[in-house]
Structure 1
Amino acid sequence: MSKISLSILSAVLLLGLIACSNQNGQENNNDESDVNSTEQGDKGVKKDDVREIVWKQLSSEQIEFIDGTWKDGKVTIIILNENMVTHVADKSYEGKEVYLIDFPTKSKSIPNNMIVYADIDTFDYIGNGPVD
């Protein structure tokens, strides 16, 4: 009787463990698809590419600091929070969706990227973001 109970208990625990591990795998896949749906690499580039339009609005010093061209930027849509707004002159964007464009830089130190914010509707350059 105790062997049967032990076998049933083991089977239930094993099924529970398998169910939990599959659930975590599905959550990770959903996270990746969310990131991929909001990131823009060289694939799926629109005619009016936000990276190119913002690139043309950057200062010559900023462009010189970037390693590569506007095509090397990665675009993500984010909601600008108060910690990010400290580097942005126009505080009206706080709490709003904006483009975050992450450009690689020529800097040998870490972080070696430059974050730029752009208006989601007009593609206007908003400002630079803090890097970790």
Structure 2
Amino acid sequence: MKKITLFILSSCLLLGLFACSTQNKQAKNSDDQNTVGNNEQVNEEKNENDVRRIVWEQLSAKQKEWIDGTWMDGKVSKVTLNEYMITEIDDKSYEGKEVYLIDFPTKSKGSPNNVIIYADVNTFEYIGNGLLD
């Protein structure tokens, strides 16, 4: 009877050890995947910072004067450009393509109180200003 009890107890302990070691491996793999994801986020943030700065340098002094703050205050997103989203542009080749939308706050107290700038996804070239509601 003692041998059977000792065997069952030993089996339970061994199963518990195997279960814990499997959880540790899964947790480690999960941590590794999170690290890769965080690196991608950091690279993406650097890319956004670069596009804001590069586009900021392409703006005229008048445009910069209108913006409240610096290039760091812009918010970047990607959109597919259509003909109703942009003003004063002769180059229609960007229609239907994905571009960066950079939203800068302005010094205006009224509505709208922001300015939208579009830039090429690959070259960060200033495309034009966006329409506001």
TM over 0.5: yes
Aligned residues of 1:81 and 1:94 also touching (Cα < 8 A): yes
Residue identity matched to 2:127: I
Find the counterpart in structure 1 of residue 102 from structure 2.
101
| Whole-angstrom CA distance in 2 between matches of 1:123 and 1:87 | 18
* SS state at 1:108 partner: coil
| Whole-angstrom CA distance in 2 between matches of 1:85 and 1:69 | 22
Higher Rg of the two aligned structures: 2
| Alignment deviations for residues 3-40 of structure 1 (CA, whole Å, 9 cap, x no partner) | xxxxxxxxxxxxxxxxxxxxxxxxxxxxxxxxxxxxx9
* TM superposition shift of 1:89: 2.5
* SS state at 2:46 partner: coil
Identity of aligned residues (%): 66
Higher helix share: 2
Structure 1 residues not aligned, in runs of 5+: 1-39
Structure 2 residues not aligned, in runs of 5+: 1-40
Find the counterpart in structure 2 of residue 75 from structure 1.
76
RMSD after superposition: 2.0
Pairing of 1:34-45 with structure 2 (within 5 A): 44-45=45-46
| Whole-angstrom CA distance in 2 between matches of 1:98 and 1:128 | 12
Aligned residues of 1:118 and 1:124 also touching (Cα < 8 A): yes
Residue 64 (structure 2) pairs with residue 63 (structure 1): yes
Distance 1:107 1:56, change over 3 A: same
If the length of structure 1 is used for normalisation, what is the TM-score?
0.64
If the length of structure 2 is used for normalisation, what is the TM-score?
0.63
* TM superposition shift of 1:86: 4.1
Find runs of 4+ consecutive structure 1 residues off by over 2 angstroms.
43-48, 85-89
